[in-house]
Every structure is written in C-alpha cells, then in structure tokens.
C-alpha cells in the first residue's frame, strides 16, 4: 500500500516527506482555504517536495468549466492529478481529461455503482470516503472490498485511494480491505509510529543503557 498525505500545509508535507514514506499528496478546497493561499501557488510548492501524484481539486460545476480549470493545472507538473466530484458532470469531465492523457481522481465515492461509473470513465484514481461512510452508518471496509473485487473482476486499472481517514483503525481497515493507497491527515500519520508496548520497550532499553559502564 502507498501512503499519501492529505493536507495543503507545506510545513507538514515537508516534515512527513523527510521520512521518505510519503508517495503522494491530496488536497481539496477546504484544505487550501485553511492555508489562505491560491491553489496554484500551493501546488507549485508541493511538487517540489514530493515526487508522486499530487491531487488538485477543481471547483464543482459544469463539465466544460471543470475541464477548462483542469488543463492549466495539469500543466504545472507531470505529477498533477485532477480531482473531480462524483457527479454526472464530473464523470463527463473525467472521460474528456482521460482522453487527453490527464490523470484524474474521482472523489466522494460511496457506492459500488458510483465506482463503476468512475472506472468506466477511465479514472486514474477513485476515492471512497471512509469517515463519512461511518457517519452514515455504512461499512467502509465492505465497500472497499467490493470495489476492489469489481475492479479486479473486469480488469479496470483505476487505483483505489482510501480517503477521509480519521484514525488508525480506518487505516488498518483500508490496508486489510485491499485499498491501493491511503491518504492520511498529518495527525493520524504521526500516530502510526506509536504503540504503548513500543514506548515501554524504549524505556526499558534506555534504563538498561544507563546501567552500562
């Protein structure tokens, strides 16, 4: 499984990328708004820090508008992935952008039928939202497993990005269910290294080292 970071905060991206385990970045309008900067400016900085897929989301609306916004974004860098909404207009835009060789990430996916639409449109990536599924009382693990099954049954090449990850349990579920990628908020990323038995073991080693002469 590849690990992406889900943020637009340059400091966080720089820190996590320094460990050598971040393979890509996803952003969205909410994350960009938190930084108080223009999308294009943030993307320019991100591509200098992470050599992997960088998802930049276009504004939801008409297909033509999304395509017109996507094309200049895609020209910023070869790693740019255009993030599109799961709407009919988004699907139409996905098909057009795919035909132009532009990578896409169809987001806000909550069902197998939606996933089928995105895969048929040639989406490079597909993002089911785990946290929001939980909020609505659905099983995120089951959805990921079902999408992976359908994808593999019919030979689609779309990669599955587990998104809306709010805790380590979501991450573990996504990895066990067969997601290709997990895009993880900084706070959850930092918890991945933590475990009470690790902390206990480190303390034992530290105490033992003090006794060595």
Q: Tell me: the pLDDT tens digits for 48-100?
A: 999 999 999 998 899 999 999 999 999 999 999 999 999 999 999 999 999 99
For residue 131, give the CATH number of its domain: 3.20.20.70
Tell me the range of 11-15, 132-136, 137-141 where mean pLDDT is highest.
Answer: 11-15
State CA 80 to chain mean position distance. 13
pLDDT score for 204: 82
Instruction: Work out whether the CA dihedral 204, 207, 208, 209 comes out positive or negative.
Output: positive
- Residue in 87, 80, 179, 89 with CA at minimum distance from that of residue 129: 179
pLDDT score for 134: 86
Active site amino acids: 83
Q: Tell me: the pLDDT tens digits for 140-182?
A: 999 999 999 999 999 999 999 999 999 999 999 999 999 999 9
Show the domain range for 35: 2-210
Counting the structural domains of the chain, the total is 1
Three-state secondary structure call for residue 43: helix
Q: Report residue 30's pLDDT band, with 50, 70 and 90 as the boundaries.
A: confident
What does pTM read for this prediction?
0.92
Q: Report residue 203's pLDDT band, with 50, 70 and 90 as the boundaries.
A: confident
Give the tokens for residue 210.
């003090």
Instruction: Work out whether the CA dihedral 194, 197, 200, 205 comes out positive or negative.
Output: negative
Q: Taking all residues of the chain, what is their mean pLDDT, rounded to a whole number?
A: 94
pLDDT score for 212: 63
CA separation for the pair 54, 44 (Å, rounded): 10
Question: Does 213 score more than 80 pLDDT?
Answer: no
């Amino acid at each position: 499984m590849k690990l992406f970071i889900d943020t637009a905060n340059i400091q966080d991206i720089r820190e996590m990328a320094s460990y050598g385990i971040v393979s890509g970045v996803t952003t969205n309008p909410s994350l960009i708004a938190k930084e108080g900067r223009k999308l294009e400016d943030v993307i320019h900085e991100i591509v200098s820090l992470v050599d992997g897929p960088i998802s930049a989301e276009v504004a939801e609306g008409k297909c033509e508008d999304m395509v017109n916004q996507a094309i200049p974004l895609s020209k910023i860098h070869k790693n740019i992935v255009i993030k599109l909404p799961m709407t009919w207009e988004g699907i139409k835009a996905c098909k057009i952008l795919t035909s132009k060789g532009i990578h896409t990430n169809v987001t806000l996916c909550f069902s197998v039928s939606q996933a089928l639409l995105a895969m048929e449109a040639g989406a490079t990536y597909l993002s089911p939202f785990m946290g929001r599924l939980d909020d609505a009382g659905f099983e995120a693990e089951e959805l990921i497993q079902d999408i992976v099954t359908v994808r593999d049954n019919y030979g689609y090449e779309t990669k599955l990005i587990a998104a809306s990850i709010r805790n380590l349990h979501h991450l573990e579920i996504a990895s066990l269910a067969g997601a290709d990628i997990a895009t993880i908020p900084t706070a959850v990323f930092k918890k991945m290294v933590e475990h009470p038995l690790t902390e206990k073991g480190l303390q034992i080693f530290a105490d033992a080292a003090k006794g060595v002469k």
